Structure 1
Amino acid sequence: MSDATIDAFQKLASGVYLEGLAVDHDRDIVWYSDVIAGGIHGVKPDGTPLASFNPDRMWTGGVLVNTDGKLLSSGQGGILWNDPETGRSGWLIEKIDGHPINGINEMVPDGRGGIFFGTNDIEMVIAAGEPRPTEIYRLTAELELVRLADGIGFSNGIMFDQDRARLYCNDTFRCTWAFDVDADLRLANQRCLLEKADVDGMALDANGNLWVTGFRSSHVTRLAPEGTRLADFSTPAGSVTQLRFGGADMRDVYVNSVPSDGGDTLKEGGEMTTRDSFLFKGRSETPGMKFAPPRFALG
């Protein structure tokens, strides 16, 4: 039997197309985004709804919690921050090389107070056109921007394993990339770990194994650090866009589920209005890897 078996799922929330997902361990809140209906929304682990932010902002693909509890959200225009306590907000980054940012997708802490992130071509997503290649960047805690890789077809889920000095990034319609990370947090030795045409979100468990979601897949693909395929992780009906671990023992599993044809509907410019995308909570026998949050000095 797989050690990734879920005993049961609890439905916590719904939306049109749920994507970004973050667990606020200090407040015991789960934050998620809806890329079509807009906004970031918070719920308790039992599904009790809490605050919502940015109701008119679509295409938020990633959510992170800063060390001071403020939320970082990616998307069109860059990375926005929101303070759940005061309601204040502002931009962490909105330009690259002096130009307005087209889009940013997923983010992950770099272990030194900053983040790694991948860009995406939201302009072409909205136009249902062929997305242009994207890049991977590092934003230091001091707000220095460093370009690390380019030529990524469509950057998506991204994870950093500090112990193994390895960065992983999903290239949505192509594969899961792995990079070695040097002492200066530069990338080298790019290689493909998983060829799959719907790689979406990503998480790491405590053993360094990758959990890769797919917008056409009702299971999570699990890979050992070097790419060996492990037993799949079954999820509720539909497809899964993102996954995060939480709880005191890091064995709670939160997944965003979408209709099985939802990702292709978005890709082809189709309209989505039905609230049949869900945030689920389950359990895993394998705990997740917990990350130190970024330490940006926000206003």
Structure 2
Amino acid sequence: WHSMDATCLLDSQCGLGESPVWSVAEQKLWFIDINAPALYRLDPATRQLETWPMPATIGSIAPTADGGLLLARCDGIWRRNPDGKSETLLVASPLEGARFNDGRCDRQGRFWVGGMTDTREPETALYRLDGDRVIRQGLVGAIAISNGLAWSPDGATMYHADTPTHCVHAYDYDVKTAAISNRRLFLDLRTTDERPDGAAVDAAGNYWVALYGAAKVVQFSPAGERLREIHLPAKAPTMPCFGGADMKTLYITTARQRHDADELAKMPLAGGIFSVRVEIPGLPETPFAG
């Protein structure tokens, strides 16, 4: 497979940078720091960074059709108005002793989000926001750290990972009903030090996944073949997303948490935002349709 190196776009020193979302309309990158907790908007052209502290731990974000954002916080899922001056609670969190983690909309604009516990025990699930309620999805089973959510370009295949298992599963996805079925092993990384974190799918259907602790993001074909590795000077990449005017820039968030002094000396850019140019463009995120 091919190897490439990502460069640091912003030395943001996030404790746990996550959930990068490219705004096509703004040509800017939104992301969060789960630990801070805070919401950020970066203009890659000028390196200008805007910051909004959050009142509660935030696990993921997604665009809304009006130009606002969904915020999956530990107290519930909120809709942030486009002007950023007000928020509306859509649904309170159903999680007890846990918080929302990785989340995004499917190709039809339904918001899916997983959970995680502080103990890293498999005690949460995968959820879907449906109107004013959150529906628990049983097929995926008990989850410790929900990650890797992504859909194929046609929306008919859903990917999901439970990070501590070192595995990514694929599912048949009914685009009309949002039903998931036919759970199958897509990536088995149990013989490696690679822990699947956030992911994105490009226009050709390849699955790009951040491998937390392994200092790389890897592109896999729809058949699970390793095609390309993106190496970073940060050991804990958390999630990639596609952006830029041509959707051929891969942006990558990383974490700085749980690094000892020696690791920070070797990787001072840990927690930064990285980027790399790729050959196949990504697809814009589908905004929340609710």
Question: Normalised by the size of structure 2, how large is the TM-score?
Answer: 0.84
1:153 alignment partner in structure 2: 144
Q: Does the CA-based 8 Å contact 2:153-2:203 persist in structure 1?
A: no
Q: Does the CA-based 8 Å contact 2:249-2:277 persist in structure 1?
A: yes
Residues in 1 aligned to 2:84 and 2:8: alpha-carbon distance in whole angstroms = 33
Residues in 1 aligned to 2:160 and 2:258: alpha-carbon distance in whole angstroms = 19
1:229 maps to amino acid: R
2:198 alignment partner in structure 1: 201
1:133 aligns with 2:130: no
Structure 1 unaligned blocks of 5 or more: 266-273
- 2:99 is aligned, of 97, 103, 109, to 103
**Displacement, 1:287?**
1.1
Residues in 2 aligned to 1:115 and 1:275: alpha-carbon distance in whole angstroms = 32
Structure 2 unaligned blocks of 5 or more: 261-267
Deviations 1:167-202 (A, max 9, x none): 111211111111111242211111221223521110
1:137 maps to amino acid: Y
Q: Does the CA-based 8 Å contact 2:11-2:271 persist in structure 1?
A: no
1:36 alignment partner in structure 2: 35
Q: Does the CA-based 8 Å contact 2:98-2:124 persist in structure 1?
A: no
Identical pairs, percent: 25
Residues 1:144 and 1:43: Cα distance change in structure 2 (over 3 Å): same
**Displacement, 1:9?**
4.5
* Matched length: 275
1:181 aligns with 2:173: yes
Which of the two has greater strand per residue?
A: 2
1:225 alignment partner in structure 2: 222
Aligned 1:72-83 pairs, distance under 5 A: 72-83=70-81
Q: Does the CA-based 8 Å contact 2:163-2:196 persist in structure 1?
A: yes
Question: Normalised by the size of structure 1, how large is the TM-score?
Answer: 0.81
Secondary structure of the residue that 2:78 maps to in structure 1?
strand
Deviations 1:206-243 (A, max 9, x none): 11111110220111122111322222222333321111
In angstroms, what is the RMSD of aligned CA positions?
A: 2.6
**Displacement, 1:10?**
2.9
Residues in 2 aligned to 1:173 and 1:101: alpha-carbon distance in whole angstroms = 18
Residues 1:47 and 1:158: Cα distance change in structure 2 (over 3 Å): farther
Secondary structure of the residue that 1:173 maps to in structure 2?
helix
Deviations 1:66-112 (A, max 9, x none): 1111112223122223224151012222143xx76842112221233
Residues 1:263 and 1:198: Cα distance change in structure 2 (over 3 Å): farther
